[in-house]
Amino acid sequence: MRDLVRETHLLKDDLIMPVFVDANIKDRKEIPSMPGVYQFSLDSILDEIKAIVDKGIKAIILFGLPDHKDEVGTSAWEDDGIVQQAIRKIKKAYPDLIVIADTCLCEYTSTGHCGVVKDGVVLNDESLTYIVKTAVSQAKAGADIIAPSNAMDGYVAAIRQGLDENDFKNLPIMSYSVKYASSFYGPFRDAANSAPEFGDRKGYQMDPANRLDALRESASDVKEGADFLMVKPSMAFLDVMREVRDRFDLPLVAYNVSGEYAMIKAASQNGWINEDQIVRETLVGMKRAGADLIITYFAKDVADRMNKGEVF
């Protein structure tokens, strides 16, 4: 009877699995702060992709760890960059898999910031030039969706223009429209080797105390041409997610971030919670708050449970 009248359902089609590809390793390497999540080499990445596809997951979001860094993040837009190589390899083997390219500079700059730094300040407009170059290079490699995560003013419009000028007019942009300056990102910075060398990212990521900011940022990205909106992190910002859902009609993505994943894993490993039940409540809560899609490190585990007949 409860199943008959349930209002919210999580489907396998809602899941997006993050994948890390690392130019500095030869096989796969587990991320200590994220049990069960790995970095993959180019040689080993197709094994992971096969596992994802075989479980019925239809989309991944790809992050890269380069073999060299510099002040402007040159390796982010190189034709033979780690993400570009991985995209081509994945799309050749699995052409129907949706490959979303995370588009940012933080993994590629020597400063660990999402843009160009001068005199200790991250330069917004100058950084957009390099973000656009990165997006275009990812598109040329075969990415299905460009997902800019640098959270700087005007980045959606700049990328849209850059893609259009390079004959990618139909390539969608998944904007990290509501991205808070959050401590929930800690384990990801281990996974992507992207911690800032100095300071923090509060100059271009939002104050977690602000709600109206989220609506203004979303409205700006919609006007600039975004095709998807996103709320990141998710668990502490479900109220914001609901407001964005109610205000805008674009597909809405929830990013169930690394710190949220790590907390559940740690508590489960200590026997303090039932992981399966907590994951169900967490992801269904994001759907109930208005998310259409969920980027989550639990995607493979959840898909396995669904394949065994469990209904979310």
Check if 232 is active-site. Answer: yes
CA 168 to chain centre: 21
| C-alpha span between 236 and 184 (Å, rounded) | 10
Q: What are phi and psi of 101, to 5 degrees?
A: -100, 115
Exactly one of 55, 179, 287, 300 is catalytic; name it.
179
| Exposed / middle / buried, residue 4 (Cβ in 10 Å: 0-12, 13-18, 19+) | exposed
Exactly one of 89, 232, 287, 300 is catalytic; name it.
232
Check if 179 is active-site. Answer: yes
Q: Which residues are catalytic, by number?
A: 179, 232
